[in-house]
Structure 1
Amino acid sequence: MTSSWSQRRDVSPENARLLIERAHDELLAGNAADERLGDVRALVRDSWRRSLASLVGADALPPLDLDLEALAAYRREHPLAVAIDMVRGLLLPGGADESGVVVAVGDASGRLLWVEGDRTVRTLTGDVGFIEGTNWSETAVGTSAPGTALTLDHSVQIHGAEHFNRLVQPWSCTAAPVHDPETRRVLGVIDVTGGVEAVTPQAQLLVDATARAIEGELLVARLRERAQAASSGLPRRPQRRVEATHATLRVLGRNKAVLEVIGDGIETVSELGPRHAELLLMLAVHRQGLSAERLGELVYGEPDASVTLRAEMVRLRKVLERTAPALVPQSRPYRLGVQLDTDAHQLLSLLGRGAHRVALAAYRGDVLPDSVAPGVEEFRDTVRTALREALLAEASVDVLLAYADTDAGADDVEVLRLCLSMLPARSPRRAGLVARIEKLEA
């Protein structure tokens, strides 16, 4: 399969890139019949149109569909889990940290389950949301090798400018779907992302061969399991079911937290008062449990607030019994019987995975900003400091400039000076930064 950028054979790769960028601009401007679209490969042109029909944003970050807990449980049960070592051996032999590419394995819906490879490339691609748990289907981010390969059900190469999403256009990728060896149902997708080395004919042959090797390995493992079951007379072991209930407490930029609970295919959303939000947040942060004295200290600022605490816990239990019975706190010590995630913990997880741009997009403000509960104030400072330090240490200048436009970064001279040092000498943004710094230091 040809890997040329456009349908024109009389132009250089650089000029081909410019032609595709102009065609992309015309399509987004509503000129779907513009003649420049004739310079784009039919495969890409059709994918762009599907992306438009799905109302995909050309500058949007991919949605994070799976947090760390849900991701870990899902990966354990996914059919491709048994083939991860094979993927590493075939696509990341030797020094994976300096391979120049990242290798991703996704499910049939386009959600990335494993992302491994070159450390620098992982940091840079993570900045545009190419991380475990995000959705890279065509309906989520538009044209990309993983999503388009799943849509077309065959291997695909997408060169930088051919991506529908502008944030991803610095990268190129090759992907191939993986099928169930017996039913031919799509199980997932294998992707290699990097520079031009990720879209050579050899790269496509290797990714295709890896997908076929995985299918062969799955079939061999399945036949072996059946043979063992038949010889022992034992029934085949059923797969474990993943716990369906998932709860998230949203506290960023909110004084009244929002509790989202999903179970048995039903989603319930309820708003909590300030005190109930503080109590539930402290139990989510201190998952090992808290004594009545310690919980009273974290919420009320004094350890001898046990009478007030008990009364409020009774009211909180009644609220949760109606909206989320599984989250009703246990006592001695006070603790939650099931996992409660928070959007603040999700943000910290994104920072840990190097997804700075996604983390900043998820940062809607401080944790319960009006709360004066000591435990909340401490956690609020932890989240804000972690975000700031991670961005200062590793984020790109575009992400830092976006952070400088938030309430948290608006008056941060160190952030503004770092942005100034990272911008090109002739950048039109420099004048505004200099003015802000001078005003803050006056």
Structure 2
Amino acid sequence: MDTALPSGANAREHAVLLRRVHDALLTGRPQPAPLRPVIEDSWGRMRQFGIDPDSAPPPRMARLDELQRYRDASPISEVLPLIRRSLVSVADEAEHIMLVTDASGQVLWREGSRRMRAVGDRVGLVEGAYWNEGSVGTNAIGTALVVGRPLQVYSAEHYVRSLHALTCACAPVHDPRDGRLLGAIDVTGPVSTVHPTTLALVNAVAQLAEAHLQGLHHAHLERLRSVAAPLLAGLSRPALVVDDAGWTAAAVHMEPVRRVLLPKNCESGNVWLPALGECALEPLPGGWLIRPGPEDRAVPSTVTLDLTRPGSATVSVAGDSGAWSQRLSPRHTELLLLLAVHRDGRSGTQLSHDVFGSDQHVVTVRAELSRVRRNLGGVIESRPYRFSDDVRVRVLSPESPLDLLPGSSAPGVRELRRRVSSEDLFDRSGR
């Protein structure tokens, strides 16, 4: 975890040093000490965004009706009581505030110390405000959402000077089913209260929330399994039952897949599904009955890897029977990006070097690609690993090379960041 205070450092003296580093870097003078790499990278993004550290505009705000809609749509709302029980009393006693955001950095809920709520009001740290990096500069919420891991930001590590009086600790919350980013939990307080254990506490609560979401998912699948059991018992041909998001609850006369990519605006009838081929879909309460038909070797004509939103990569496949889209975990995003660039294919050893920097992780690479291939049947080939020759592959990349999987430290991805600024490797968003 990225804690802000070096081991054994005096908090007040470190804050003074950070202010000197902040002044030096913004005026072009030699800096008295290096920034943490995660902060230095974020400041590079701030310069590209053109954010003024002395007169940054107030954060963008959502309307009240929009805020309620975002709250209702957030999966984190299902575990909000657990988060409140774990953090609100602690935040209140320590003169902090607790915040919960969505994946875009919008503050959905804020609770805690009255004194710190007043401070938050002055800097725009309020419900409905967007605290992503592009809105308010380097901060624990926005930067943790970009890099996808727990992060503490202290004093003058904030790019905007008006935030130097704050210390913040934030941990992202991911969907335990597929790793997609759901939002974040943050605790913010006065700079004088900085402590490394704050980040550990926030991260523990985020992990607890993810575990609870996993339990809710399993409970839903169990209910769906019970509903479908009498129907499946009477079938003599392969079939499976999935929930509305395509997660498998039960299967008969076939090897179950973990998840099926369902068409957008799914309707009953015959459709082609990745990994299964031609299938018949029938609605069930809370899910679908899928009956695979005769094997169909057709594959989608286009695969689109969308990397335009850091932390929320998706892969979409499109063919004659419709289109399907799936969120990607960080590791699967890295692997699909590398295969999209290397259309001639990569061996397991090459991908191990691309992702881990050594050939000691070939087994891990093969296991991850096995999961990818189960979800994208007919799209990814092996020996070597590659996209099928019949498939058109599009990669939608962010405008700035620095935003190309900014949370990835994989050597192959870092090399792509250097190349993408000088070569037209990908389709660009908005062009």
Taking the TM superposition and a 5 Å limit, the aligned residue runs for 1:281-320 are: none
Residues 166 and 196 of structure 1: is their aligned pair in 2 closer, same or farther, counting only changes over 3 Å?
Answer: closer
Residues 146 and 160 of structure 1: is their aligned pair in 2 closer, same or farther, counting only changes over 3 Å?
Answer: same
Q: Cα offset for 1:57? A: 2.5
Q: Tell whether 2:166 aligns with 1:193.
A: no
- In 2, are the aligned partners of 1:57 and 1:141 still within 8 Å (CA)? no
Which of 7, 12, 15 is the matching residue for 1:14? Answer: 12
Taking the TM superposition and a 5 Å limit, the aligned residue runs for 1:96-245 are: 97-196=92-191, 199-233=194-228, 234-236=284-286
In the TM superposition, what whole-angstrom CA distance separates every residue of 1:98-155 from its partner, at most 9, and x where no partner exists?
5411010111111111111111111111210000111111121111111111111110
Partner Cα separation in structure 2 for residue 48 and residue 107 of structure 1: 23
Residues 21 and 145 of structure 1: is their aligned pair in 2 closer, same or farther, counting only changes over 3 Å?
Answer: same
Which residue identity is paired with 2:113? D
Q: Cα offset for 1:35? A: 2.6
- In 2, are the aligned partners of 1:107 and 1:187 still within 8 Å (CA)? yes
Q: Cα offset for 1:13? A: 3.4
Partner Cα separation in structure 2 for residue 2 and residue 107 of structure 1: 21
- In 2, are the aligned partners of 1:6 and 1:40 still within 8 Å (CA)? no
Q: Cα offset for 1:26? A: 2.8
- In 2, are the aligned partners of 1:158 and 1:199 still within 8 Å (CA)? no
What SS class does the counterpart of residue 99 from structure 2 fall into?
A: strand
Taking the TM superposition and a 5 Å limit, the aligned residue runs for 1:321-332 are: none
Q: Cα offset for 1:185? A: 0.8
What SS class does the counterpart of residue 110 from structure 2 fall into?
A: strand
Q: Cα offset for 1:69? A: 0.9
In the TM superposition, what whole-angstrom CA distance separates every residue of 1:258-280 from its partner, at most 9, and x where no partner exists?
xxxxxxxxxxxxxxxxxxxxxxx
Which residue identity is paired with 2:109? W
Residues 201 and 18 of structure 1: is their aligned pair in 2 closer, same or farther, counting only changes over 3 Å?
Answer: closer
In the TM superposition, what whole-angstrom CA distance separates every residue of 1:265-301 from its partner, at most 9, and x where no partner exists?
xxxxxxxxxxxxxxxxxxxxxxxxxxxxxxxxxxxxx
What SS class does the counterpart of residue 143 from structure 1 fall into?
A: coil
Which of 81, 86, 97 is the matching residue for 1:85? Answer: 81
Residues 4 and 141 of structure 1: is their aligned pair in 2 closer, same or farther, counting only changes over 3 Å?
Answer: closer
Q: Cα offset for 1:12? A: 4.3
- In 2, are the aligned partners of 1:113 and 1:132 still within 8 Å (CA)? yes
Q: Cα offset for 1:22? A: 2.3
Which residue identity is paired with 1:90? S
Q: Cα offset for 1:169? A: 1.0
Residues 208 and 97 of structure 1: is their aligned pair in 2 closer, same or farther, counting only changes over 3 Å?
Answer: closer
What SS class does the counterpart of residue 173 from structure 1 fall into?
A: strand
Q: Cα offset for 1:196? A: 4.8
In the TM superposition, what whole-angstrom CA distance separates every residue of 1:392-439 from its partner, at most 9, and x where no partner exists?
xxxxxxxxxxxxxxxxxxxxxxxxxxxxxxxxxxxxxxxxxxxxxxxx
Which of 36, 39, 43 is the matching residue for 1:44? Answer: 39
Partner Cα separation in structure 2 for residue 237 and residue 199 of structure 1: 47
Q: Tell whether 2:36 aligns with 1:26.
A: no
Which residue identity is paired with 2:77? A
In the TM superposition, what whole-angstrom CA distance separates every residue of 1:214-244 from its partner, at most 9, and x where no partner exists?
1111111111112112323442179xxxxxx
Residues 176 and 198 of structure 1: is their aligned pair in 2 closer, same or farther, counting only changes over 3 Å?
Answer: farther
Equivalent residue, structure 1, for 2:368: none
Partner Cα separation in structure 2 for residue 202 and residue 222 of structure 1: 30
Give the fraction of aligned pairs with identical amino acids, expressed as a percent: 35
TM-score by length of 2: 0.50
Instruction: Answer with 1 or 2: which has the greater Rg.
Output: 1
Q: Cα offset for 1:209? A: 0.8
Partner Cα separation in structure 1 for residue 116 and residue 198 of structure 2: 17
- In 2, are the aligned partners of 1:2 and 1:201 still within 8 Å (CA)? no
Partner Cα separation in structure 2 for residue 37 and residue 6 of structure 1: 15
Q: Cα offset for 1:51? A: 1.1
In the TM superposition, what whole-angstrom CA distance separates every residue of 1:166-224 from its partner, at most 9, and x where no partner exists?
11111100001111101101110110000357642221111111111111111111111
Partner Cα separation in structure 1 for residue 17 and residue 144 of structure 2: 24
Partner Cα separation in structure 1 for residue 73 and residue 104 of structure 2: 15
- Aligned pairs, how many? 232
What SS class does the counterpart of residue 36 from structure 1 fall into?
A: coil
Q: Tell whether 2:65 aligns with 1:69.
A: yes
TM-score by length of 1: 0.49
Residues 93 and 3 of structure 1: is their aligned pair in 2 closer, same or farther, counting only changes over 3 Å?
Answer: same
Which residue identity is paired with 2:71? R
Q: Cα offset for 1:62? A: 3.8
- In 2, are the aligned partners of 1:99 and 1:117 still within 8 Å (CA)? no
Residues 84 and 130 of structure 1: is their aligned pair in 2 closer, same or farther, counting only changes over 3 Å?
Answer: same
Partner Cα separation in structure 2 for residue 172 and residue 99 of structure 1: 12
What SS class does the counterpart of residue 50 from structure 1 fall into?
A: helix
Equivalent residue, structure 1, for 2:279: none
Which residue identity is paired with 2:215? V
Partner Cα separation in structure 2 for residue 197 and residue 15 of structure 1: 11
Residues 205 and 97 of structure 1: is their aligned pair in 2 closer, same or farther, counting only changes over 3 Å?
Answer: closer
